[in-house]
Amino acid sequence: MTDVLQLVWDLGKVAEDAALRGDDRAAAVVRSAAKHIMDAQAEVCALERRREKDRKRKRTSAESVESTESAEAPKVSPDPFLTPKTDESSRVRARDNEDAELLEQCTDMLSSQMGNLWSDVDDFLRRRDYSTWLGWVKEMLTILTGGKALPVDLAQVCRDDAALDRPIGSPKGLRSFIANAILERTTPSVAVAVQPIRRAAGGVAQRTYNNGRTALDGL
């Protein structure tokens, strides 16, 4: 775990402890700081990937120039009906690689915060298409670092999702379920006193008993 991830993890524990003590304001401040650090780290990683791509592109351009100077390329007459090829597939692959790297980083951060409850989140993700994982993980990190939610709330929602006929389908739905989980955790349960049921004397059972006793007395 990098120093930044360790810092976010430590802040998450501080926020959790503050929430358990009932200091919601301190918990909110700490979670907000953790979220800013997480966002800044994501921007730094994205900037570093762009710089690495620029370095690779420059190296490729330099190698191409050297190759062109060493051998003259055959002359080909341009075809007016030929559609220029685009490098869309390369851009898609590059974007997929960036998303995969960001997903790995965010997953590390989320699993660190969840601890031994990570398996519930992992099951939640595996019930969904891989292309949506990054969105779900980023939303979960935001929930844990920007509000009153604790890892136990997120784990409970992920377990509940497995039992739904219609699983949670959007981040908005996830936030709604999380709000309910927080309410259940923070609202004290009301003990309902159950009074013993007193049966009134008489009734059908009593009359049946009396009639039986009378019949026996007459024998």
pLDDT in tens, the chain (219 residues): 456 666 776 777 777 777 778 887 887 777 778 777 777 767 776 677 677 777 777 777 666 656 655 555 555 555 555 555 556 665 656 666 778 888 998 999 899 889 999 999 999 999 999 999 999 999 999 999 877 899 999 999 999 999 999 999 999 999 999 999 999 998 876 444 444 444 444 555 555 556 555 555 555
Identify whether 70 is part of a domain: no
| Cα–Cα separations (whole angstroms), residue 176 to 170, 171, 189, 194, 214 | 10, 9, 21, 33, 67
Identify whether 155 is part of a domain: yes
The count of domains in the chain is 1
- The boundaries of the domain holding residue 133 are 3-60+98-186
Identify whether 118 is part of a domain: yes
* Angle subtended at Cα 115 by Cα 114 and Cα 119, rounded to the nearest 5 degrees: 75
Is this structure's pTM higher than 0.85? no
Find where tokens 């997953």 sit: 107
Identify whether 218 is part of a domain: no
